[in-house]
A and B are shown apart, each in its own frame.
Chain A
Amino acid sequence: MIELRGVTAGGLREASLALAPGESGRLLLSSAADMTLLLRLVVGTERPAEGWILLFGRDLAEAGEAERLALLARAGIVWPAGGFVSNLKVWENILLPLWYHGRRDAAGLEGEAVALLGRLGLDAGRIPDFLAALPGSLPEREQCILGVARAMLMDAELMIYAGLLDGIDAATGALLAAEAARHHARRSGRASLYLAAGAQGLPHPFAGLSFRQDEQGGIAPWL
C-alpha cells in the first residue's frame, strides 16, 4: 500500500519501509520536521534526494500530477493538528474530499458524521456548533478530531495518521486510538500507518508492526 525504498531526504538516510494491505504499522521518527517531510514526500510537495516512494504499488516520481492526485484520493491523511482549509467551515472541510471526488453528498453523510464525531469524543450538544465553526477558532483537540473524522469518512484504503496523539489529553487520545483501530478493521485490506516524533504520539499498546528512525537516519524495526 505504501513503500519507501532507500529514501534520503531531510534526516532520513536510505530509509525503507513497506506496509502491505491489511497491515498496521507505527513509525517513530526522530523529529517533527522529518514527520512533516515524510508527509510532504507522499503528497508530492517535496522530492527525495534519493530513493523511491510507492503508493498503491505506483512509483510517485513516475506518476503525473493527475495520477498522483488520484492515488492520494485513495488515502486518508491526518495531518498534525488535523490539517484543514481555513476558509471552510468544519462541515465543509469534512464534506470537501467526498464531494470533490463525487463519492458522497451532504445528505447521505450527515448522520454518519455525527455518529463518528460522538465516538471520537465530541458531546452531542457540541456537534452542531462544531460543524458550523471555522476550524481556526477551534481548540487543538477539536481540530485533531476534525482531521481524523474527515479522513475516516473518506473510507480510504490507506490511512496515515501523523502525530495523532500529540498534544491531546489522555482520554481523547484513548478514544482516537481505539476508533482508529476499529476503523482499520472495518474495511478488508485497509493499511494504517501511524507517524510521530515522540513515543507519546503513537498508539500504545499496538498490535501491528513497529519501526523507528535510527541514528543513521534509516528505518529499523522497533523492538
Chain B
Amino acid sequence: MAGDGFLRALGRGALGQLDASAGAFALLGRALRGAGALASPPVRTVFFRQVYFTGLQALARTGLIGALLGIVILTQTASLVGKNAALGGRILVWAVMREIGPLFAAIAVISRSSSAVAAELAAMRVNREMEVLRGLGIDPLRYLIVPRVLGLAVSLAALTVWFEAVSIAGGLALSSLIVGLPFLAQLHNIAGALSAADIGISVLKSAVFGLLVAAAACNQGLQAGSSITEIPQVTTRAVMQALSLVVVANVLLTVLAAPLR
C-alpha cells in the first residue's frame, strides 16, 4: 500500500512537471511569435538591459570558471595519458565545445538570471503591475516577456562562446605553465580538432537552452498570485524546471547532432 502511495505521488509529480513544461512551451511560442515587438524602442531597452544583466555582468565569473575548468581537464588528461599534446587538446575541445561549455554556461545563467527573472516577474504580479501596464495599453507579453526570453537566449549563446574560448585558451596557457604541456603544439592541435559543426552545434544548443531557461523563468514568475510568500516558491520552481528542461534538451540535441559531427 505504501508503494501505491509512492507511485501515485510520483505520477502526480510527473503530471505536474508535464503541465508546467507545457505552460512554459506555450509561453515560449507566444513570445517567439511576438518577437517583432523588439522593433519598439522601450521593448528594445528591456532587451538590452536583460543582455547586460545576464550576459555582460556574468562575463568575469563565467570566464574564471571556464579557465579553471580548462586547467582541470588538461591536467586530468595529462595524468591519464601523459604529456600527449595532441590528445590533450582534442579532449579539451571535445569536452568543452560539445558538452561542458553549453551546460556550464546554462547552469550559470539558471543560477544567476533565471531566478532573478522569475522573482522580478512574480513581484510584479504580486504588486499588480501587470494591470498597471495593461491600463496603459501596454501588452505585458510584448513588453516584459519577449525581451526577457530573447535577451536570455542571446546572452546564453554569447556567454557559451566566451566560456568555451576562455576555457580552451586559459586551460592551455595555465596548464602549459603548471603541467608543462607545450602551448603552441596544443594550440595547433586544437585548431585542427575544431570543426564548424562543433561550433555551430554548440551555439545552437546554448540558444535553445537560453530559450528554455527563459521560458521556465517567465512562466513560473507569471504563476505568482497575490501573496509575497509565493515569490520564493516560484523562484525555486523556475530554477528546478529550467535545470530539468536543459538536461533533457541536452540529451536530445546531443543524440540528434551526433550524425552531423
Contact residue among A43, A101, A102, A154 (Cβ-Cβ distance under 8 Å from B134)? A43
Contact of B19 with A by CB under 8 A:
no
Contact of A70 with B by CB under 8 A:
yes
Contact of A194 with B by CB under 8 A:
no
A45 touches B131 (CB 8 A): yes
Contact digits for A28-45, partner B, Cβ 8 Å, 1 yes 0 no: 000000000001101111
Contact of A87 with B by CB under 8 A:
yes
Contact digits for A9-49, partner B, Cβ 8 Å, 1 yes 0 no: 00000000000000000000000000000011011110000
Min CB gap A158→B, angstroms:
12
**CB-based nearest B residue for A101:** B137
B133 touches A85 (CB 8 A): yes
CA distance A132 to B134 in the complex (A): 24
Contact residue among A66, A75, A85, A154 (Cβ-Cβ distance under 8 Å from B132)? A85
Tell me which of A76-84, A181-189, A215-223 binds B. Answer: A76-84
Within 8 A of A (CB), among B115-138: 120, 123-124, 127-138
A100 touches B136 (CB 8 A): yes
**CB-based nearest A residue for B144:** A85
CA distance A65 to B41 in the complex (A): 21
Known A-B contacts A85-B129, A86-B124; the reply to A72 vs B143 at CB < 8 A is no
Residues of B within 8 A of A58 (CB): none
Q: What total count of A-B pairs have CB within 8 Å? A: 70
Q: How large is the interface on B (under 10, 10 to 19, 20 to 34, 35 or more residues)?
A: 20 to 34
Known A-B contacts A79-B132, A83-B132, A84-B132; the reply to A74 vs B137 at CB < 8 A is yes
CA distance A102 to B128 in the complex (A): 25
Contact of B40 with A by CB under 8 A:
yes
CA distance A157 to B210 in the complex (A): 42
A73 touches B123 (CB 8 A): no
B135 touches A100 (CB 8 A): no
Residues of B within 8 A of A150 (CB): 136
Residues of B within 8 A of A74 (CB): 137
B137 touches A85 (CB 8 A): no
A-side interface residues, number (CB < 8 Å): 30
A99 touches B42 (CB 8 A): yes
B134 touches A69 (CB 8 A): yes
Min CB gap B39→A, angstroms:
10
Residues of A within 8 A of B132 (CB): 79, 83-85
A73 touches B137 (CB 8 A): yes
Contact of A96 with B by CB under 8 A:
yes
CA distance A43 to B140 in the complex (A): 12
CA distance A97 to B137 in the complex (A): 7
Residues of B within 8 A of A73 (CB): 136-138
Residues of A within 8 A of B128 (CB): 83
Residues of B within 8 A of A101 (CB): 137
Contact digits for B226-252, partner A, Cβ 8 Å, 1 yes 0 no: 000000000000000000000000000
CA distance A87 to B134 in the complex (A): 16
Residues of A within 8 A of B127 (CB): 86
A96 touches B137 (CB 8 A): no
A96 touches B138 (CB 8 A): yes
CA distance A87 to B124 in the complex (A): 9
Contact residue among B42, B134, B139 (Cβ-Cβ distance under 8 Å from A96)? B42
Residues of B within 8 A of A77 (CB): 135-136
B139 touches A87 (CB 8 A): no
| Residue of A73, A87, A102 with highest tally of chain B CB at under 10 A | A87
Residues of B within 8 A of A65 (CB): 139
B134 touches A44 (CB 8 A): yes
B120 touches A87 (CB 8 A): yes
Min CB gap B130→A, angstroms:
7
Q: Which residues of A are interface residues toward B (Cβ below 8 A)? A: 39-40, 42-45, 65-66, 69-75, 77, 79, 83-87, 96-97, 99-102, 150, 154
10 further contact pairs, Cβ within 8 A, besides A72-B134, A154-B136: A72-B136, A75-B137, A77-B135, A83-B128, A85-B129, A86-B124, A86-B129, A97-B138, A99-B42, A102-B40
Q: Which residues of B are interface residues toward A (Cβ below 8 A)? A: 40-43, 120, 123-124, 127-139, 143
Instruction: Kindly list the 5 A-B residue pairs having the minimum CB-CB distance in the complex, ordered from nearest.
Output: A73-B137, A97-B136, A77-B135, A72-B137, A83-B132
